[in-house]
Chain A
Amino acid sequence: MARAATTSDVFNAIAEPQRREILVLLRTGERPVTVLAQELGMTQPRASKHLRVLKEVGLVRDRKAGKQRLYCLDAHGLRAVHEWTGGFERFWAETFDRLDAYVRELKQTRQEE
């Protein structure tokens, strides 16, 4: 079966590790491409290219702020991923996120004692 183009398929878009790093960074707030490129140690054209792909599949949005263009997460594109993974797996993905945070905290507390 032919592979869907990266620019139209959200799964292909998030298969690329650097694009996932961009999404993780954008969790904490919107950023201009210059800052994203710097934080991820990549060239600005490369970061721009990734952002263009992420925007086309609906994972990021941008807005103009003065001379800058700011990028932020867009939940819209994730719908397909959610539908694919389904309720049970999502339930446990989020639960294990909380377990991870909790035992890290526990580890820290025990080390301090």
Chain B
Amino acid sequence: MSTTADREIVISRVIDAPRELVFEAFTEVGHLSRWWGPDGFTTTTRSFEFRVGGEWDFVMHGPDGTDYQEWISWTEIAPPERIALRHGEAPDDPNAFESVLTFEPAGAATRIGMRTVFPTRELRDEAVEKYHAVEGGEQTLANLAAYVTGVARKGSED
């Protein structure tokens, strides 16, 4: 068991496209702005430079009108296999967390793994319970239904 086990979250998901294409979707702001965030979320980018040490400074707009200041800096980029990044609200955010994304071929599709390590267990638990407005907000039946499909997909991969 890794020493970070009590302060990390691991998510895995199969995306129905070749690895190069899935990786590419993470490398340009024109792509990212098309899919980043749950249903109904949009982003406004202040600056974006996809390189190790580069930053993505942006605002995420929730469906209820709430704005979230976001900041991402890449710490490792290995096309088309791996991206590591720091994610917080600003460069000096003490609560920033680190995510490592891995891209593995799964037939003609791609399995994305995302391991996120939080500075403390408390911050991990907090993220689990209330990450942005997704938690607790009014959900449309359509969103819930989309979630069921996600659960179904996860289940059928097991």
A-side interface residues toward B, CB under 8 Å? Answer: 14-15, 17, 20-21, 23-24, 26-27, 59, 73, 75, 78, 81-82, 86-104, 106-107, 110
**A59 to B152 Cα, complex, angstroms:** 14
**A14 to B155 Cα, complex, angstroms:** 9
- Of chain A, the residue at the smallest CB distance from B148 is A23
Chain B, residues 14-28, CB within 8 Å of chain A (1/0): the string is 011110011011000
In angstroms, how far is the closest chain A Cβ from the Cβ of B80?
12
**Contact in complex: B128, A102 (CB < 8 Å):** no
Number of interface residues of B (CB under 8 A): 44
In angstroms, how far is the closest chain A Cβ from the Cβ of B107?
14
A90, A97, A103 — which one has the most chain B CB atoms within 10 A of its CB? A103
Q: Which of A24, A73, A100 contacts B15 (CB 8 A)?
A: A100
The secondary structure that dominates the A interface is helix
In angstroms, how far is the closest chain A Cβ from the Cβ of B62?
11
A-B contact pairs, 22 of them (CB 8 A): A14-B151, A17-B152, A59-B148, A73-B141, A73-B148, A75-B144, A86-B129, A87-B127, A88-B9, A88-B131, A89-B11, A90-B131, A92-B13, A93-B150, A96-B11, A96-B112, A102-B25, A102-B34, A103-B15, A106-B21, A106-B25, A107-B21
In angstroms, how far is the closest chain B Cβ from the Cβ of A18?
11
In angstroms, how far is the closest chain B Cβ from the Cβ of A75?
4
Q: Which of B37, B127, B128, B141 contacts A95 (CB 8 A)?
A: B37
Given known contacts A73-B144, A94-B38, A95-B36, is B152 in contact with A24 (CB within 8 Å)? yes
Q: Which of B18, B36, B128, B150 contacts A97 (CB 8 A)?
A: B150
Residues of chain B within 8 A of A100, CB atoms compared: 13, 15-17
Residues of chain A within 8 A of B147, CB atoms compared: 78, 81-82, 90, 93-94
